[in-house]
Amino acid sequence: SKPILEVDNLQVSFKMSAGEVQAVRGVSFTLNKGEVLAIVGESGCGKSVTAQTIMRLVPTPPSYIKNGSVMFDGKHDITKLSESDMEKLRGQEMGMIFQDPMTSLNPTMTIGEQIMEGVRKHQGSSKEKARERAIELLNLVGMSNPVERLSQYPHELSGGMRQRVMIAISLACNPKLLIADEPTTALDVTIQAQIMDLLKDIQEKTGTSIILITHDLGVVAEMAQRVIVMYAGKVIEQGTLNEIFYDPRHPYTWGLLRSVPRLDSDSNSDLASIPGTPPDLFAPPKGCAFAARCPYAMKVCLEKDPEHFTASDTHSAACWLQHPDAPKVERPIEVGV
Ligand code: SF4
Ligand code: MG
């Protein structure tokens, strides 16, 4: 069957008074039906902008889609849909879960009103039907006493429960595609695990396709079948979960994997443990965007942006080290978490 999403050479820029920020610089990938794809990278790498562009949630202006296409379900090019068609698509076929449920829930409306509003807006059902559906959704996301929950306000719930409510709202329309942008980052560790278990469970029950945006490779390992690594607005490596975790090819991916906390140490998972900072996307460098931080940088790296070199049908990395004539370097990390 056709992929649910085909992103081809997507370029998104922000026009600012100081110039143009090239946030997404030619991203391509496909998402198959029923698949969980993780997009990982440091903040500012373009992963959130990519996800929000797929839902057309980036404000235009200042952003604009400079180039590329995003085919949804083989039918609609999202970059070309009218705002009203897009709104329909968002309401009927896509759901999004954000990092901070408190900013996306309305503090003045009860949980029930907010879920029912979602259900009715998208499915136009009667108040009675919407209420039944709201209870069903609260059950699905593992909330106890759903009937009582309907009349509670967001501030009466814990952070983890608010995120469950957000997930319930995102599922109101039975989405074919769910985008979860750092869904557990604002929660404490034990709750994070519960929310990830919930998402996994929902994915298995509903078969929805998921794009999971995260900087946390532990979360990726638990849920994703395929992984895209982004850096400075580009995909620099992609592969199956096993390929990325056990046979990573790009020095940036090595850095990411090195920053995963190991059970036997107390190193933290802060990606800042890769020394240096990403380049300025007002003026991206000419060659490899990672060169300034890369211990293996060669002359060619400063001159020419590396193409994607294929490691398998499913695995590629944009790094000159993958060129057949490049010097062989030893991967500096033990792989596999
Ligand atoms: Fe490092 Fe060069 Fe590979 Fe870029 S292309 S990651 S600078 S070795
Ligand atoms: Mg983000």
Say what the pLDDT of residue 264 is: 45
- Rounded distance from Cα 39 to ligand 2 centre (Å): 11
> Nearest bound ligand to CA 251?
1
Task: Work out the pLDDT band at 330, boundaries 50, 70, 90.
Answer: confident
The mean of the pLDDT values for the chain is: 90
Q: Considering the chain, what percentage of its residues have pLDDT values greater than 70?
A: 94
- Rounded distance from Cα 189 to ligand 1 centre (Å): 34
244 lines ligand 1 (CB under 6 A): no
Query: Residue 313, class by beta-carbon neighbours within 10 Å (0-12 exposed, 13-18 middle, 19+ buried)?
Result: exposed
Give, as residue ranges, everything with CB less than 5 Å from ion ligand 2. 48
> Nearest bound ligand to CA 305?
1
Separation CA 195–CA 200 (nearest Å): 9
> Nearest bound ligand to CA 317?
1
Q: What is the pLDDT of residues 104-154, one digit of tens each?
A: 789 999 999 999 988 887 777 888 999 999 999 999 999 999 999 999 999
pLDDT of 268 above 60: no
251 lines ligand 1 (CB under 6 A): yes
- Rounded distance from Cα 307 to ligand 1 centre (Å): 11
Separation CA 334–CA 337 (nearest Å): 9
φ/ψ of residue 186, rounded to 5: -85, 0
Say what the pLDDT of residue 108 is: 94
Task: Work out the pLDDT band at 336, boundaries 50, 70, 90.
Answer: low
Q: Which two tokens stand for residue 11?
A: 């370029």
| Least reliable range by pLDDT among 54-63, 98-107, 259-268, 291-300 | 259-268
pLDDT of 186 above 50: yes
pLDDT of 179 above 80: yes
Query: In ligand 1, which atom is closest to the CA atom of 290?
Result: 4
285 lines ligand 1 (CB under 6 A): no
Residues 34, 94: contact at Cβ < 8 Å?
no
Say what the pLDDT of residue 151 is: 96
Tell me the three state secondary structure of residue 36: strand
Say what the pLDDT of residue 184 is: 84
Tell me the three state secondary structure of residue 7: strand
Higher pLDDT, 270 or 200: 200
- Rounded distance from Cα 132 to ligand 1 centre (Å): 55
Beta strands 226-231 and 234-240: pairing type? antiparallel
Q: Which two tokens stand for residue 258?
A: 């090195």
pLDDT of 272 above 90: no
| Domain assignments of the chain as residue spans, ordered by start | 5-105+175-322
Mean of pLDDT values over 203-209: 93
292 lines ligand 1 (CB under 6 A): no
Say what the pLDDT of residue 11 is: 98
Residues 24, 10: contact at Cβ < 8 Å?
yes
Spell out where the chain has E strands: 5-16, 19-31, 36-40, 63-72, 76-77, 94-97, 177-181, 209-214, 226-231, 234-240, 309-312, 315-317
Pocket test for ligand 1, best of 231, 237, 290, 331 (most atoms within 8 A of CB): 290
Query: In ligand 1, which atom is closest to the CA atom of 302?
Result: 7
Q: Whose CA is nearest to atom 3 of ligand 1?
A: 319
The total of other beta-carbon atoms located within 10 Å of residue 156's CB is: 12
In CATH, what number does 5-105+175-322 get?
Answer: 3.40.50.300
